[in-house]
Amino acid sequence: MKEWVRIWSRTGSVQMAVSFCLSTAGESARVWGLNLDEAVHFDGNTYSGYCLEGEKAAAERAVMEKVRDPVFRKTFFKKAYAVLGDLLRFCRKLDRKRLEKASGPQLAGLYSAFWDKRVRATAHFWFGFFAAEPLGDAVLEELGKIRGKATKPVGHYSEAIFSPPRPTYPVRERMELLKLAAAFRENASGEKFEEAVLRHARKWAWLPMYDTADEVYGAGEVAGKAREILAAGDPKKELSRLRDEQGKRPAEYRKALRELEPAAGQKQLFEFAHEAAFYKEYRNEVRARMSLLSRGLYGEIARRAGLALDEALLLTPREITGFLAKGKLDLDALRERKKGCVLVQHGDRITIHTGREAEGIAKKLVFVEKTGVLKGTPASPGKARGVARIIHGPGDLVRLRQGDVLVASMTKPAYMVAMEKASAIVTDEGGLLCHAAIVGRELKKPCIVGTKNATQTLKEGELIEVDADSGTVKRVKR
């Protein structure tokens, strides 16, 4: 009998978990040919997703079959950007509506329309999860076959291919923050400084968000980062370096292709992976913007139900539309769900279990077996030693100090400040195109991804050595 094996772990909500599950059952089947059933365990703090043993590998093979299709490679990003753009446009219109004036059926209609677009977009989000690792492996395999004029190590060419062709949102925000700091180099205080900080915070409020109830990027954090930049040196020089680095990227990529002299099929694969490096981060940007723009909708649902925002996010889509139509909610069931629950998805059907029933199901969900030596995929080269900080969610980030090693199931926008402080980054999930890998390369931090069980094997506060050249993590005796 096959076991349920953990494939992801996030802080989030039932709304997030259900969108993950339903997108793999419907839209993902059409886009990717996937047929994946999931179980999601919520322990009161973290949501962990499981699939039957071997199904994740089967899903990765299905995605790569698509990616190997030349026609698919030519059309995927155009279609994906259109789907994500459709979601954002709808969310912006939704954010401008006076939802308190909508009738119950009207609000239910708006929610249903939003939900359909969210699930469709989430199916395209899955590309980054299922394709990152096998796509990276495919590129490295082809690089190993090529001779051409190439004289540099494979790592040099893979870095050019896996570097985003355009500045990603963390880089764009950093550049704007450097501009702000440079403008107030002589006096990082006063009314004009506060006004500039507030404008920046409003523009980038969505930056750290992964789900609707997450905290926004506040003016206090912006002011603190601006002052840290000023204390570290000349922001104009840092801005110039960053602009120069970003500006050289297209030429470095074109030069790599000239030296490699890839065959037509290989070149198309490299170009697909190059665009995927940007797309992976763009989908995170869309998810973060959606999280903020949909807050008014969920807030209005919460207000009518007499719930807090995070409680409303524990409801399923059917419960929300049912409440808006009939005005009834099972509050006892919701209170039990808040303590912990298990969602089991089969096709387009989802059941939610709580109490002892959930505990019984949870016992059948297994973690990856722990090992003494941690190995993963080297995503950004280098070596570092530091204290391990196990990060399960944004609330854990306060423990991380300058020079610590950030260890997480995966990274997300809310972790950016901590990633800048960390001496190295280690994740359970991901491949060469995941968020941690891309940001690690941007920050020039040693980064190892796809260890499967770093958060389970390593202990909080122990000294570790990260060798991102070989992809190993070792404990160090003090």
Residue 205 token pair: 């409020």
In tens digits, what is the pLDDT along the chain, a chain of 478 residues? 578 888 888 888 999 999 988 887 777 777 777 778 889 999 888 899 998 888 888 888 888 888 888 998 899 999 999 999 999 999 999 999 999 999 999 999 999 999 999 999 998 888 878 887 888 888 988 998 886 667 788 888 988 999 999 999 999 999 999 999 999 887 778 899 999 999 999 999 999 999 999 999 999 999 999 998 998 889 999 999 999 999 999 999 999 999 999 999 999 999 999 999 999 999 999 999 999 999 999 999 999 999 999 999 999 999 999 999 988 999 999 999 999 999 998 888 899 999 999 999 888 886 555 556 789 989 899 999 999 999 988 888 889 999 999 999 888 877 888 898 999 999 998 888 888 888 888 888 999 998 888 888 899 999 999 999 999 999 988 7
pLDDT at 297: 98
Quote the pTM value.
Answer: 0.88
Give all domains of the chain, ordered by start, each with its CATH number: 4-131+294-366 (no CATH), 147-261 (no CATH), 374-475 (3.50.30.10)
Give residue 370's pLDDT.
52
C-alpha 440/C-alpha 299 separation (Å) is 35
The whole-angstrom separation of Cα 234 and Cα 241 is 11
Contact 59, 123 (CB under 8 A): no
pLDDT at position 290, please? 98
The pLDDT, as a whole number, for residue 236 is 94
Nearest one of 80, 55, 45 to 4, comparing CA atoms: 55
Alpha helices in 308-450 (DSSP H): 309-312, 317-326, 331-339, 355-362, 416-421, 435-443
Q: What is the pLDDT of residue 366?
A: 64
Residue 40 and residue 345: Cα distance in Å, rounded? 8
The angle at the Cα of 189, spanning 167 to 201, to the nearest 5 degrees, equals 40
Q: Exposed e or buried b for every residue in 391-409, given b needs 16+ CB within 10 A?
A: bbbbebbeebeeebbbbbb
In DSSP terms, which residues pair with 406 in a beta bridge?
389, 425
By CB neighbour count within 10 A (0-12 exposed, 13-18 middle, 19+ buried), where does 280 fall?
buried
For residue 464, the SS3 value is strand
Residue among 244, 305, 455, 259 nearest 368 (CA): 455
73-84 burial, b at 16+ Cβ within 10 Å, e below that, comes to: beebbeebbebb
CA angle 29, 32, 33 (to 5 degrees): 50
**Using the 8-state DSSP alphabet, how is residue 369 labeled?**
P
H or E, element range at 52: strand 47-52
Q: How far is CA 452 from CA 380, 405, 456, 457, 469, in A?
A: 17, 17, 9, 10, 18
